[in-house]
Amino acid sequence: MRIFCVLGLGLLFAASVAQAQTPGADDPLAQMDAGASAATSTEARGVLRARDQAVLASEVPGRIVELPFSEGESFKKGDTLARFDCSAYQAQLNAAQAASRGAGEELAHNRQLAALNSVGRFEVARAEAKVSETQAQSQVYQVQVKRCNVLAPFDGQVVERKVQRYESVPAGAPLLDVVDNRTLEIHLLVPSRWMARLKPGQTFSFVPDETGKPLDATVKRLGARIDEGSQTLLLVASVPNASGLLAGMSGTAHFAEFK
Chain segment 203-226, per-residue pLDDT in tens: 999 999 999 999 999 999 999 999
Is residue 237 in some structural domain?
yes
For residue 36, the enclosing domain spans 23-51+181-254
Q: How many whole angstroms separate alpha carbon 175 and alpha carbon 154?
A: 16
CATH number for position 58: 2.40.50.100
Beta-bridged to residue 78, according to DSSP, are none
State the average pLDDT over residues 18-44: 53
pLDDT score at 28:
59
Q: How many whole angstroms separate alpha carbon 182 and alpha carbon 77?
A: 13
Asked whether residue 173 falls in the same domain as residue 206, the answer is no
Chain segment 14-24, per-residue pLDDT in tens: 444 344 344 45
Asked whether residue 161 falls in the same domain as residue 73, the answer is yes
Is residue 65 in some structural domain?
yes
Look at the chain and report how many structural domains it folds into. 3
Asked whether residue 214 falls in the same domain as residue 201, the answer is yes
Confidence band, pLDDT 50/70/90 cuts, at residue 32 = low
pLDDT score at 205:
94
Q: How many whole angstroms separate alpha carbon 157 and alpha carbon 178?
A: 6
CATH number for position 230: 2.40.30.170
Asked whether residue 45 falls in the same domain as residue 63, the answer is no
Please say whether the beta carbons of 73 and 158 come within 8 A: yes
The H-or-E segment that residue 102 falls in is helix 87-115
State the average pLDDT over residues 160-177: 97
pLDDT score at 36:
43
pLDDT score at 256:
83
Distances from the Cα of 136 to the Cαs of 93, 105, 131, 146, in angstroms? 11, 17, 9, 15
Asked whether residue 69 falls in the same domain as residue 164, the answer is yes
Confidence band, pLDDT 50/70/90 cuts, at residue 10 = very low
Asked whether residue 119 falls in the same domain as residue 220, the answer is no
Is residue 12 in some structural domain?
no
Please say whether the beta carbons of 81 and 176 come within 8 A: yes
Beta-bridged to residue 200, according to DSSP, are none
Q: What is the pTM of this model?
A: 0.73
Mean pLDDT of the chain: 86
Chain segment 91-119, per-residue pLDDT in tens: 999 999 999 999 999 889 888 888 888 77
